[in-house]
Amino acid sequence: MTKSSRSLLGRLLFQDKGILPTSRLLIVYVCFSGLLLTGALIGLSWMWIFSLNAFFLGLSLIDLMFSPANKSVEVKRSIPDQMERGLDYTVELKINNTSQRDLSYRLLDGTPQSFQTTFPLGGNVAGLSTGSHSYHVVTPVRGDYQLTRLYFRYWSSLGLWEKQKTVETMDKVKVIPDLTETRKVLEDAQRFLLYEGVKIRKQQSGAGEFSKIRNYVVGDDPRKINWRQTAKLREVMTNEYEPEHGKYITILIDCGRMMGAELKKGNRLEKSLEAALTVTAAALQNGDYVSVIAFSKKVKVYIPPAKGMAHLQTILHRIYNLEVDAAESNYAAVLHYVQTMQKKRSLLLLFSDIHTFLHEDNALYYLQRLRRQHLFLMIGIEDDRLVKQIKVEPVDEVRAMMKSMAQKQMLVKKREKAKWEKQGLLMVEAREEKLATTAVSYYIDMMNRGLV
């Protein structure tokens, strides 16, 4: 394909700049050509046919005089510089027409292919005025993106020819994990867990220091009811005690091959990142120190421990663009790295695939050594297909065989988990929609019981 043909194709595909005939002009020209063909059949000379064609095309070009010049039309985009994965956002577009002529337009935004949008957009802008248009966008893939172009076509009221203009822009967009669960925890961890159907188990009576007085909920210790406030407010109120602050939490995020397994929404890594940020928010809000290690074949990201809510932004900006690697995870290497970097006792919270981890015999040696100083908890996502297969009714031989194989796989997993848990290494599996809730619940429970 030559350079000129590529340029023409680009214009037809809503790119570059130029002047193009509209469908209205083509329809009118087809009708006019039919008349000329009829005239040719009754004896009209070819000179008259060519002259009338040239006259028609010249007359149609007058339409360009009624449309604004390219320099009289400006298009600007207003888009958030940071968006969360999977959420709906609105992008505003402003069309400024500085000429005295009205125009009708269609436009495309040069968004990346992963952005979910609906194009083209259309509308009208009067002369010497500014119009606005908006569209919704959903960004399902995390990472950094640049939006550099807007493709704009407009025409006059006659609508015979349309002008095409490419607007050069530079907007940088950062797509981060979905922080919906994190915001719920920051608003109120107790309500967040109760909303998800999980109750926070309180610390032993007398442990911790007084924090605040709040409404009594089912599961609270009746001995902690504040009877004076209950009588005053005519509502059952209870004293809340919080554990000692300043504990160390080390979050390990697996980015290996198995974390790329697709779920209902996203993959395992996406859900693990969202859950890890939720636990991070809860820990920082409680005054604990949080460090993060992301790894696959080797350590990809290490964020030293720190406390304070500002550290949440530091962690977010370091891990928001993590991707799944094609390599298998090297658990032994990362656990050795943890042993080297984390000298103080901490809660090691590992987000990974439990089924894969159970077959890593090399990791058991390092975990036994880490267990002497640290508290270990591994959280994985439950295999929904395996659970459904176990619940299937064996109505025929094929389903009975598949059910028995699923049950056998589940028994093997439970046996291996029991072997690791005898070494004091707790493993938990949760449904993908409950992963963040489960992680925060176990973190709060361990803190309240003073296990760290």
Q: Is the pLDDT of residue 420 over 70?
A: yes
Confirm if 209 and 250 have CB atoms less than 8 A apart.
no
In angstroms, the CA 255 to CA 249 distance is 19
Number of Cβ atoms within 10 Å of the Cβ of 177: 27
Q: How far is CA 179 from CA 82, 85, 141, in A?
A: 12, 9, 14
Q: What is the pLDDT of residue 147?
A: 93
Q: What is the mean pLDDT of the chain?
A: 86
pLDDT band per the 50, 70, 90 thresholds, residue 141:
very high
User: Mind listing the pLDDT tens digit for each residue in 90-140?
Assistant: 999 999 999 999 999 999 998 999 999 998 899 999 999 999 999 999 999
Q: What is the pLDDT of residue 2?
A: 60
Indicate yes or no: pTM above 0.85. Answer: no
For 157, residues 6+ apart whose C-beta sits below 8 A from its C-beta are 66, 102, 104
Q: What is the pLDDT of residue 81?
A: 93
Confirm if 185 and 285 have CB atoms less than 8 A apart.
yes
In angstroms, the CA 355 to CA 268 distance is 13
pLDDT band per the 50, 70, 90 thresholds, residue 352:
very high
Q: What residues does 175 pair with on adjacent strands?
A: 83, 143
In angstroms, the CA 358 to CA 206 distance is 39
For 369, residues 6+ apart whose C-beta sits below 8 A from its C-beta are 339
Least reliable range by pLDDT among 52-66, 171-185, 413-427: 413-427
Q: What is the pLDDT of residue 42?
A: 82
Bigger pLDDT: 395 vs 15? 395
Q: Is the pLDDT of residue 24 over 80?
A: yes
Rg (CA), the chain: 32
User: Mind listing the pLDDT tens digit for each residue in 234-291?
Assistant: 899 998 776 566 889 999 999 999 899 888 888 999 999 999 999 999 999 888 999 9
Q: Give the per-residue SS3 of 222-291.
A: HHHECHHHHHHHCCCEEEEEECCCCCEEEEEEECCHHHHCECCCCEHHHHHHHHHHHHHHHHHHCCCEEE
The CATH number of domain 70-176, selected from 1.25.60.10, 2.60.40.10, 3.40.50.300, 3.40.30.10: 2.60.40.10
Confirm if 179 and 84 have CB atoms less than 8 A apart.
yes
CATH 3.30.460.20 fits 180-184+196-200+244-448, yes or no: no
Q: Is the pLDDT of residue 449 over 70?
A: yes
In angstroms, the CA 75 to CA 287 distance is 48
Number of Cβ atoms within 10 Å of the Cβ of 273: 25
Q: Where are the domains of the chain?
A: 70-176, 180-184+196-200+244-448, 209-242
- Closest Cα partner for 154 from 120, 124, 127, 111? 124
